[in-house]
Amino acid sequence: MSSDVRKAVTGASIGNAVEWFDFAIYGFLATFIAAKFFPAGNDTAALLNTFAIFAAAFFMRPLGGFVFGPLGDRIGRQRVLAVVILLMSAATVLIGLLPTYATIGVAAPLLLLLLRCLQGFSAGGEYGGGAVYLAEFADERRRGLTITFMAWSGVLGFLLGSITVTVLQALLPAAAMDSYGWRIPFLIAGPLGLVGLYIRMRLDDTPQFAELSRSEQVAESPLREAVVTSWRPILQVIGLFIVFNIGYYVVFTFLPTYFIKTLEFSRTDAFVSMTLASLVALVLILPLAALSDRVGRRPMLIAGSAAFIVFGYPLFLLLNSGSVVAAVAAHCGLAAIESIYVSTAVSAGVELFATRVRYSGFSIGYNICVAGFGGTTPYIVTWLTAASGDNLAPAWYLIAAAVISLIVVLTLTESAGRPLAQTQGRQQAAAIQ
């Protein structure tokens, strides 16, 4: 890996880890937030409201994608990536400073909603932008591995959030954690964000975007051009990422709460399981991404989605066996399957688009999918479990998602090892302009 690629990987990965640390701690601290920002009396209703606000942030992500994607295609990837990490970190710190429902009443959840929406808006430009940035720096033979540092760093952010909460749980008395300890992870986002911003301000823009600028081929209306010339890849990205997102948020956001509320294990058990599942993903994702460079994207995506279909239900049965050890093993098993899919999906999605509209096209598709099937997942599976009285209901939701994504994967053309397109072709570009 050349020094330029290493620098790009470091800048994109550190910033993305900070972004996902910010998002993750909200999920890890959901039970505390439910108690602090909603009236007492109905724990399930408060938890559902907490996850509803979690989901609301994701509905802002397409708007962020529609704003930051075209901006990144017009003015460059690096500048936009610097802006989004600043917005995300500022919103997260402010959540840590919010007064509770007991102090300011209904204004507390409303302010929480506002700040979560700002987080979602900024995140709409983060993941797609970072993936595009890495794709355009990568060597063709190792592009899957290079791009997948985005997914890997996201899991790292989740792991750092899990460790932070676990350590606080261990060190602070329950009363202190309930009083002020839950705020600490949100406040940590401040210095982490400043570090990420410093690193991103020192990055160069990508060689492919620089070439477009030199040849005066930068799209004047990237959003319109993406929708007109790349509507099919946008739809493929939406379908491709359904099981990516549902699996991701079941494994890394919902299951810690499921351990506590449904399986009635301790908070420590839940956070330890979360940490181990994150470690499994961290160990597997990059080697599996390197494998996708050798065997192709399609075989890996087929394997990941098929594994969820075959093993999703048995692993949820194991989760509900009553044994903490068995439940942790099942959690790690689900993380391993998710790793197969995560290791390849981002590369496959980014490779569908030409440089002129790559940031716009991928960000639109990815963020529409996240809004519909990512942030809503904790809410939907919590509601499904409560409404049906079936602790295995989340497994069926996960399996359905895997079936849909598998069908979409079968429509993809293999893209591993092939050059990235700069433009859609002169005739198409001229037609748009």
Q: CB-based contacts of 315: which residues, under 8 Å, 6+ apart?
A: 330, 333, 334, 395
Averaged pLDDT for residues 11-22: 82
Structure tokens at 427: 């005739």
Asked whether the predicted pLDDT for residue 432 surpasses 60, the reply is no
pLDDT of residue 185: 92
Residue 409 scores a pLDDT above 90: yes
Cβ–Cβ < 8 Å for 397, 190: no
pLDDT digits (tens, 9 = 90+) for 279-335: 999 999 999 999 999 999 999 999 999 999 999 999 999 999 999 999 999 999 999
d(CA 32, CA 177): 9
The single-letter DSSP state of residue 181 is: G
pLDDT number for residue 364:
92
Asked if the model's pLDDT at residue 266 lies above 60, the reply is: yes
Q: What is the pLDDT of residue 239?
A: 97
Tell me the per-residue pLDDT of 75-115, one tens digit each, with 9 for 90 and over: 888 889 888 888 988 998 999 999 988 899 888 889 999 99
- The yes-or-no verdict on residue 226 having pLDDT over 70 is yes
Asked whether the beta carbons of 145 and 290 are under 8 A apart, the reply is yes
Domains of the chain in start order, with CATH, are: 3-215+222-411 (1.20.1250.20)
Give whole-number Cα distances, 177 to 31, 65, 169, 326, 410, in Å: 12, 36, 7, 28, 48
User: Which stretch of 60-64, 76-80, 118-122 has the lowest confidence by average pLDDT?
Assistant: 76-80
Percent of the chain with pLDDT over 70: 97
pLDDT at residue 427 in the model? 35
Q: Are 362 and 61 in contact (CB under 8 A)?
A: no
Q: What's the whole-number mean pLDDT along residues 175-200?
A: 89
pTM summary value = 0.86
